[in-house]
Structure 1
Amino acid sequence: ESERYCYNTTLCWNPDVEKYFAKAYGADHFSRISAALTRPSCYSCIRVNELKTTTDAVFKKLLAVLEERRPQDDSVMVETNVKSDDTASNSTSGKYSVSKCDIPSLDYVILVKGSGPHSIDYGHEADKPLKEVCVSRKCAEAVLRGAHVYVPGVLACSAHLEKGETVAVSVAMEQPSANGGWGVGFTRGTVLQGSETGKDGYPYHSERRGLYIGQGNSMLSRAGLFRVSQGLAIDMKKRVFDLPSFYDVLEGEIFLQNLPSIIAAHVLDPREGEKIFDMCAAPGGKTTGIAALMKDKGEVIAADRSHKKVRDIQKLASELNLKCITPLKLDALKSIRRINGTCHHQVLHIENIQTPDLSSLQIQQMPVTSSMDCKLKHILSCVSFLYPIHDLFEPRSCISRTTEIINSLGGRAGSVEGFLSNSFHRILLDAPCSALGLRPRLFTGEDTLESLRTHAKYQKRMFDQAVQLVRPGGVIVYSTCTINPGENEAVVRYALDTYKFLSLAPQHPKVGGPGLVGGFSFADGYEE
């Protein structure tokens, strides 16, 4: 039973995809990458909003929050290193270690180190099956990162579950279906039983083996779990990976964000007064990071083709009190304004909105050659973690153009039909991708070589747009969250071969290893 009630999962790849990655990385290296993907990072990474507070102040507040939450049997302060300014740079409060990021220039980042994997005693008895709640795979991935279980993530649970009872939390992983697709194989609200044989053995008994991610207290009865549509379902008490939750903590002062995402915005090196384009901005983490680095002076256009996601970006910018961000509904593939198939040299302006004119600003000249950054985020997020301006406008103009656009359209997000060529000093193309570098990841079965190639096709088209929109001497940072070289190095190779005026730029700070070299020949003759 100890082999059943544990967390011991492996990724099941499409055989062709696995062969492709093994050739790119080497079989042993890819095996380690695949294993690492099933585990969360051991750190929670916090970006401090320095426009509102200081890193030192947040550091002390986080220690106080963790101190307040610590179990009674945990020591409060195990180790403290104090700088000359009497500010703790590395501290341990209870079971969490808090430190300032030591990567050069990332002094606005704080790391909170968790622990795991842990073996959990679920208290199983042979004649008394565990009370159990089975959650969706996406819910489980969030729990492994430190979240609690919320009602929408619950798919099934034991019979007669009462509020307050202790439950084991397992994962409903997608399985091959008869129609050739993937699914969990049962409907929401199904009763789980603990025995392996007979009618009590179904559904999904053997498939849950090795997919137990922790234990917690049920906040609702079984009837309540499937009657309400939202709310806290399971308050997690014991976790396989113990990472602190920062939900509603220091709101507006901090933003929880993966380190590679923070670096992707930082290497863009945005300057005060510049005009920046975040082509695929949702959910807005990198957008707000860029705005903060610019000290909220200049303009950041944050585009997404989803109205809801644009509103989410606007909400986040408001929470962080960032006024230089303009969220717009725009498909990245249609960023260049065209009419009748030709480029139209006039941006569609929204009525009654005054957009500041940046054309007369004196901007520090960038290097002569246009450049972009090929140190891709997948290297940072996967490989490196295998081991462990003055006021530019009048005060009235500085009022959030986002808010003005939303209000002028009756609460709907603003939209444009594209921009002129050479409109932006810097562009971040954090392209939609296969997301095969996100951690933790519990399922990869649906990805095929064809689907991976489709992602790359659209990424190249987005790059074509970015190259036209950036000013001569400007910067493009291209990033993804996938380990697929076809979406990373191959796209960079395409850009350099297609646009001879582009050149690679060094990344500052540099984290992770070098990019991959070589190529791959597909069965249909396609060369990558």
Structure 2
Amino acid sequence: MLGSVFRYDDGVVSELLGVYGGGLCRFLEAVHRPSRRLYIRVNTLRVDPGELLDRLRSRGLEVYRDELFDEALYFVVEGPFRIDEEGPVVVADKEAAESVMMGANLYAPGLLSCDPSIRRGSEVVIKAPSGVVVARGIARMSCSEARRRGRGLFVEVLQSLYRAPKLRELPEYQQGLFYPQSLPAIATTRVLDPAPGEVVVDMCAAPGGKTGHVVELSRGLAKVVAVDHSRRKVRRLREELARLGHLRYVEVVEGDSRYIHLDMPGLRADKILVDPPCTALGVRPKVYDEKTWRDLVNAAAYQEQFVRAAAKILRMGGVLVYSTCTVTHVENELLIEGTALGECLEPVDTGLPGAWSRGSTGSYRGMYTRFHPHIHDTPGYFIARLVKKC
């Protein structure tokens, strides 16, 4: 089963063995399924966490407070459930299948292929590209119509492999009272620890989760600059900040932050968040994933450019927090120690509890924090905190 889900070449497998050794199979099994906790971050500028907890519970939702972070609530993910595999098949793309697996409906843009016999009202089976059955549901348009239109609800999901609340359909989501976010992502902005009066830069800001958290932790009193490089991503960033009511607190910049020191030469930051694009090997659940060693090397070279640019605009004594949702050494510990030290950035303790793991290689391994899916039941994640020393 795992061989059809994870298509990694020898270089990627070797890299993962270097991190997990004999625990690699347990890691892969864990990222194939969702975490047991589905987290949201409360927008504390609009609602008290306890008040939101009571509102959600009053409508019968099973929701709890996180043991460490006051602004974090979580729902319990149920499953896996057995799904009848008989019937005409719809194949969803990777991203859509991973959402459908958790109970989301399938919309036409997420369609890869479908049985031509499917008509409106047909009961169908939804599969991932790997062949994994993720749900059953009722077609709300024919296969041919879904292909022709390319938009709209295609399959209303009645039974999914796992079950969790459809967060974006909750009225509290529409009201901007929370942001769906993983526990390690919430922890990342806590490590940054933005404060009122500081200049804080989010170098890879879309879709806006960590930017919003910066605003909330600083009570809207920091100067926040959020940068992303494409018009589509910046539009999404603005929409999310507007939903949360945070847009007025953020300077949104469309640009390539690898050149921020050239494009904004007068900018000097007290704190910088670098959460760059990565190979996302720690993201879960995964219904299918394909990576090569070249993907890892290219990602690390790209990430390095963000760190070097950030160092050039960071004040002496300022803090840079680097995070990824991947688990490789080459994108995490090795990148930090091969790049940051030459930019006068010194790794210091993240300050997060010892319940999570430290780094797994490098001279500063004791300073980093790692989240492991098969150990902590979270996404795979890496966080480093760096201070500018010269």
Distance apart, 1:511 and its partner CA? 5.3
2:217 and 2:11 map into 1 onto residues whose CA distance is 42
User: Please, what TM-score do these two structures have when normalized by structure 1?
Assistant: 0.64
Matches within 5 A, 1:308-323: 308-322=232-246, 323=248
Structure 2 CA distance for partners of 1:9 and 1:144, relative to 1, 3 Å:
farther
Aligned to 2:322, what secondary structure does the other structure show? Answer: strand
Structure 2 CA distance for partners of 1:459 and 1:64, relative to 1, 3 Å:
same
**2:320 counterpart of 1:326:** no
Q: 2:78 aligns with which of 103, 110, 115?
A: 115
The residue that corresponds to 1:32 in the other structure is 26
Q: 2:182 aligns with which of 250, 253, 258?
A: 258
Matches within 5 A, 1:388-407: none
CA contact (8 A) 1:162 1:220 kept: yes
The residue that corresponds to 1:425 in the other structure is 270
Task: Spell out, residue by residue over 1:78-102, the C-alpha distance to the aligned partner (whole angstroms, 9 max, x if none).
Answer: xxxxxxxxxxxxxxx5xxx311011
The residue that corresponds to 1:350 in the other structure is none
Aligned to 1:217, what secondary structure does the other structure show? Answer: strand
5+ residue gaps, structure 1, are: 68-92, 125-129, 174-207, 338-416, 520-528
Question: How many residue pairs align between the two structures?
Answer: 359
Distance apart, 1:513 and its partner CA? 0.5
2:272 and 2:357 map into 1 onto residues whose CA distance is 24
Which one has a larger percent strand, Structure 1 or Structure 2? 2
Structure 2 CA distance for partners of 1:500 and 1:134, relative to 1, 3 Å:
closer
Structure 2 CA distance for partners of 1:15 and 1:321, relative to 1, 3 Å:
same
Aligned to 1:290, what secondary structure does the other structure show? Answer: helix
Distance apart, 1:499 and its partner CA? 3.8
1:212 and 1:442 map into 2 onto residues whose CA distance is 9
> Which runs of structure 1 show a deviation greater than 3 angstroms over 4 or more consecutive aligned residues?
7-10, 508-511
1:109 and 1:237 map into 2 onto residues whose CA distance is 29
Matches within 5 A, 1:338-377: none
Q: 1:62 aligns with which of 40, 56, 63?
A: 56
Q: 1:99 aligns with which of 41, 52, 64?
A: 64
1:12 and 1:286 map into 2 onto residues whose CA distance is 31
The one-letter amino acid of 1:437's match is G
The one-letter amino acid of 1:450's match is R
1:216 and 1:53 map into 2 onto residues whose CA distance is 36
CA contact (8 A) 2:337 2:362 kept: no
The one-letter amino acid of 1:152's match is P
CA contact (8 A) 2:129 2:288 kept: no
The one-letter amino acid of 1:148's match is N
Q: 1:19 aligns with which of 8, 14, 26?
A: 14
CA contact (8 A) 1:460 1:494 kept: no
Which one has a larger percent helix, Structure 1 or Structure 2? 2
Q: 1:335 aligns with which of 240, 260, 265?
A: 260
The one-letter amino acid of 1:16's match is G
CA contact (8 A) 1:46 1:110 kept: yes
Task: Spell out, residue by residue over 1:333-389, the C-alpha distance to the aligned partner (whole angstroms, 9 max, x if none).
Answer: 10112xxxxxxxxxxxxxxxxxxxxxxxxxxxxxxxxxxxxxxxxxxxxxxxxxxxx
Matches within 5 A, 1:25-174: 25-26=20-21, 28-65=22-59, 67=60, 93=61, 97-103=62-68, 106-122=69-85, 124=86, 130-173=87-130
Structure number, greater radius of gyration: 1
User: Please, what TM-score do these two structures have when normalized by structure 2?
Assistant: 0.86
- The CA RMSD over aligned residues, in Å, is 2.1
The residue that corresponds to 2:311 in the other structure is 467
Task: Calculate percent identity across the aligned residue pairs.
Answer: 28
Distance apart, 1:239 and its partner CA? 1.1
Structure 2 CA distance for partners of 1:146 and 1:238, relative to 1, 3 Å:
closer
Aligned to 2:100, what secondary structure does the other structure show? Answer: helix
Task: Spell out, residue by residue over 1:366-422, the C-alpha distance to the aligned partner (whole angstroms, 9 max, x if none).
Answer: xxxxxxxxxxxxxxxxxxxxxxxxxxxxxxxxxxxxxxxxxxxxxxxxxxx22336x
Q: 1:271 aligns with which of 187, 191, 195?
A: 195
